[in-house]
Amino acid sequence: MDTKELLKKVRKIEIKTRRLSDHIFGGEYHSTFKGRGMTFSEVRQYQFGDDVRNIDWNVTARYNEPYIKVFEEERELTMMLMVDVSGSEFFGTTNQFKKEIITEISATLAFSAMQNNDKVGLLLFSDEVELYIPPKKGKSHVLRIIRELLEFKPKSNKTNIAEALKYLTNVMKKKAIVFVLSDFIDDDYVKTLKITGNKHDVTGIRIYDEREENIPNLGMVQMEDAETGKLQLVNTQSKSVRMAYGEHHRQRVKYFQESFTKSGCGVLNCRVDESYVKKLLGYFKRRG
């Protein structure tokens, strides 16, 4: 993609998603997440009626009388976009790839955060962390994030969500609003997710295609695994093959739902041919 074409695509994404964030999501994002974070302000002497759970035992021991930690509402939040760039995101049987929907949702969320003067960061992952952009404010920073989402070429096609969550937990010391955008064709990440969920406000946004739910009867079809490149002949006429395919998908979705719910994280499912606008609005309203 040459520079002129890239800038044109960035502008197109900006116009569409900026309008959504300005007119629809800005207020919902603000009411959903503002004030959820509390940051340490100072210590002062304990007063009757104070919550004993806020006692600072180190200071109390030093002065031999009780002191408590005082917290105040955070006015400035940090949003982290964790985006899956593995090979399976380049799949779509309708008019868009999963990757394109993920880019639009990411841009909409980034502009919503920008409108509220919050920082936005980006973490692109496959089975390794491909790119990390630390959180910053400003339009030029958001546009850089969109450019990376559009043109970044990952080194690997595979997926490892646990590895990406582990990296985020290590690099983000302060509590953040985290959106994980993926098709979640992976497993064995629930333990790491629980650790991340204890520290950050995490939401998993699963983007999927209808053909991933059920395989149609198309006879003998050669299929390629987008993450391994493995080719295999599949007899889609076989009812048992179609049933096994559907069951495998349902188990993956179940693992995603249960992992995020048990970890105290939010869950959002969005099919590529559905309106992500309605899905996001509904999610924000339920959370608000």
The DSSP string of 44-101 is EE--TT--GGGB-HHHHHHHTS-EEEEEEE-SS-EEEEEEE-SGGGS--SSSS-HHHH
- Mean pLDDT of the region 129-136: 97
Asked if the model's pLDDT at residue 249 lies above 80, the reply is: yes
Q: Which residues, other chains included, contact 286 with Cβ-Cβ below 8 Å and sequence gap of 6+?
A: none
Asked if the model's pLDDT at residue 141 lies above 70, the reply is: yes
Helix (H, G, I), strand (E, B) or coil at 188: coil
Helix (H, G, I), strand (E, B) or coil at 265: coil
At residue 33's C-alpha, the angle toward residues 29 and 37, to 5°, is 155
pLDDT of 281 reads: 85
- Mean pLDDT of the region 249-277: 93
The third-level CATH classification (topology) of the domain covering 3-33+76-287 is Rossmann fold (3.40.50)
The separation between the first and the last C-alpha atoms of the chain, rounded to the nearest angstrom, is: 40
pLDDT range class, residue 41, cuts 50, 70, 90: low
Domain ranges (residues) in the chain: 3-33+76-287, 39-73
- Mean pLDDT of the region 174-182: 94
Asked if the model's pLDDT at residue 35 lies above 60, the reply is: no
At residue 80's C-alpha, the angle toward residues 117 and 16, to 5°, is 65
Take residue 139 and report the two structure tokens written for it.
């339009």
DSSP string across 53-67:
GGB-HHHHHHHTS-E
Could you give the residue ranges of the DSSP H alpha helices within the chain? 3-20, 26-33, 57-63, 98-115, 139-151, 161-171, 190-199, 239-262, 276-287
- Segment 86-130, tens digit of pLDDT: 987 666 556 678 898 999 999 999 988 888 888 999 999 999 999
pTM of the model: 0.79
- Segment 206-240, tens digit of pLDDT: 999 887 777 777 777 777 666 667 777 877 787 88
| Residue 158 DSSP label | -
- Mean pLDDT of the region 199-208: 95
Looking only at the bridges linking them, the beta strands covering 201-208 and 266-271 are parallel
Residue, of 281 and 84, whose pLDDT is higher? 84
At residue 111's C-alpha, the angle toward residues 284 and 256, to 5°, is 45
Residue 112: half-sphere exposure toward Cβ, Cα within 13 Å: 29
Residue carrying structure tokens 């985290």: 178
CA 8 vs. chain centroid, Å, equals 26
CA-closest candidate to residue 88, choices 184, 165, 173, 214: 184
pLDDT range class, residue 9, cuts 50, 70, 90: confident
